[in-house]
């Protein structure tokens, strides 16, 4: 068990001393929470993402997140 994590699902952290905590595949920061993952893409998908990245000036993660939100019909937070 991570000593920074309490049983009440609350963080017991002094955020002035620690900027990020990793727990069960998630990366928790003072202001953000991110799910870390690694995927293998087919070459055509990878090429398309590279093209979009260049055209729009966005990070790959942003493009993939927006595409998945659209596909799953999720609301933007």
Q: For 26-43, write each residue's pLDDT tens digit.
A: 888 888 889 988 999 999
Local confidence band at 1 (pLDDT 50, 70, 90 cut-offs): very low
On whether residue 67 sits in a domain, the answer given is yes
pLDDT in tens, 40-71: 999 999 999 999 999 999 999 999 999 999 99
On whether residue 64 sits in a domain, the answer given is yes
On whether residue 20 sits in a domain, the answer given is no
Number of domains in the chain: 1
51: three-class secondary structure by DSSP? helix
On whether residue 23 sits in a domain, the answer given is no
On whether residue 4 sits in a domain, the answer given is no
Listed in sequence order, the residues at least 6 apart from 61 whose beta carbon sits closer than 8 Å to its beta carbon are none
Six-digit token pair at 4?
């920074």
On whether residue 60 sits in a domain, the answer given is yes
Domain region containing 68:
43-72
Radius of gyration of the chain (CA): 17
């Amino acid at each position: 068990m991570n000593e920074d994590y309490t049983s009440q699902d609350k963080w017991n952290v002094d955020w002035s001393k620690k900027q990020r905590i990793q727990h069960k595949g998630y990366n928790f920061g003072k202001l953000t929470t991110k799910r870390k993952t690694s995927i293998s893409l087919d070459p055509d998908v990878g090429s398309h993402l590279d093209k979009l990245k260049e055209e729009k000036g966005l990070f790959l993660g942003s493009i993939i997140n927006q595409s998945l939100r659209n596909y799953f019909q999720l609301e933007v937070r």
